[in-house]
Amino acid sequence: MDKNKIIRIKDIAKLSGVSVGTVDRVIHERGKVSEVSKAKVEKVLKEINYTPNLLAKTLGSNKVFKIALLAPHLDEDPYWNLALSALGSTQKEWQPYHIEILPFYFELHNADSYHKESERLLACNPDAVISAPIYLPEALTFSKKLKVMNIPFIHFNTLITEADPLAFIGQDLYQSGRLAASLLNLVCHDQKGSLATLHIVQSIQHSIHFQDKENGFNDYCKALASPQKTTSILINAHTQELFEASLLKAINEFEVKGLFIPTSSGAKKTAEVLRNNHLKDIKIVGYDLIQDNIDLLRSGEIEFLINQSPNKQLYRGVYHLAHHLLFKNPPPKKELFPLEIITRENIDSYTCAQILNQ
Partner DNA sequence: CTGAAAGCGCTAACAA
Partner DNA sequence: TTGTTAGCGCTTTCAG
Measured CA to CA, the distance from residue 217 to residue 198 in angstroms comes to 12
Q: How far is the CB of 240 from a second copy (least distance, A)?
A: 31
| Cα 314 from chain centre | 5
- Give the residue from 120, 85, 75 showing the smallest Cα distance to 102: 120
Strand order from edge to edge, sheet including 194-200 = 230-235, 194-200, 256-260, 283-287, 304-307, 340-342
From candidates 14, 15, 24, 336, binder to DNA by CB under 7 A: 24
Does residue 246 touch DNA according to CB under 7 A?
Answer: no
Helix (H, G, I), strand (E, B) or coil at 345: coil
324 binds DNA, rule: CB under 7 A: no
Q: φ and ψ at 17, to 5 degrees?
A: 70, 30
Residue 61 contacts which entry, a second copy, DNA, none (Cβ below 5-8 A, type-dependent): DNA
The pair phi, psi for residue 232, each rounded to 5°, is -125, 125
Stretch that binds DNA, among 26-34, 203-211, 271-279, 292-300 (CB under 7 A): 26-34
Query: Can you tell me which of 14, 15, 19, 151 binds DNA, judged by CB under 7 A?
Result: 19
Q: How far is CA 259 from the centre of its chain?
A: 25
As measured in angstroms, the least distance from the Cβ of 57 to DNA is 4
For the CA atoms of 232, 346, 81, 124, the dihedral, rounded to the nearest 10 degrees, stands at -110
Q: Where does this chain touch DNA (CB under 7 A) — which range of 11-19, 83-91, 137-145, 280-288?
A: 11-19
Contact footprint for a second copy (CB under 8 A): 51-56, 58-59, 95-98, 171-172, 175, 178-179, 182, 186-187, 189, 220, 316, 327, 332, 335-341, 343-346, 348-350, 352-353, 356-357
Residue 300 binds to DNA (criterion: CB under 7 A): no
Contact status: 36 vs DNA (CB under 7 A): yes
Asked if 52 touches DNA (CB under 7 A), the answer is yes
- Other C-beta atoms within 10 Å of 258: how many? 25
Nearer to a second copy among residue 17 and residue 338 (C-beta):
338
Q: Which is nearer to DNA, 63 or 222 (CB)?
A: 63
323 binds DNA per the rule CB under 7 A:
no
Rounded Cα distance between 133 and 276, Å, is 38
Indicate which of DNA, a second copy, none lies near residue 346 (CB less than 5 to 8 Å, by partner kind): a second copy
Contacted entry of a second copy, DNA, none for residue 345, CB cut-off 5 to 8 Å set by kind: a second copy
The β-bridge relationship of strands 340-342 and 230-235 is unpaired
Q: Does 3 bind DNA (CB under 7 A)?
A: no
- Judged by CB under 7 A, the number of residues near DNA is 31
C-beta closer to DNA: residue 12 or 259: 12
**Contact of residue 280 among DNA, a second copy, none (CB under 5-8 Å per partner type):** none
Please name the helix (run of DSSP H) or strand (run of DSSP E) that holds residue 335, with its range, or none: strand 334-336
The CA-based dihedral angle spanning residues 273, 275, 277, 283, taken in that order and rounded to the nearest 10 degrees? 80
Q: Contact at 8 Å (CB) between 250 and 256?
A: yes
∠ CA 113-238-196 to the nearest 5 degrees?
A: 100
Residue 104 to residue 125: CA distance in whole angstroms: 13
CA distances 61 to 320, 345, 353, Å, are: 21, 51, 37
Q: Does 8 bind DNA (CB under 7 A)?
A: yes
Return the one option of DNA, a second copy, none that residue 34 interacts with (CB less than 5 to 8 A, by type). DNA
Residue 150 interface partner, choices a second copy, DNA, none, CB cut-off 5-8 Å depending on type: none
Question: Restricting to residues 54-73, which ones interact with DNA according to CB under 7 A?
Answer: 56-57, 59-63
Q: Could you tell which of a second copy, DNA, none binds residue 327, using a CB distance below 5 to 8 A set by kind?
A: a second copy
Task: Using CB under 7 A, list all residues that contact DNA.
Answer: 6, 8-10, 17-22, 24-25, 27-28, 30-34, 36-38, 52-53, 56-57, 59-63
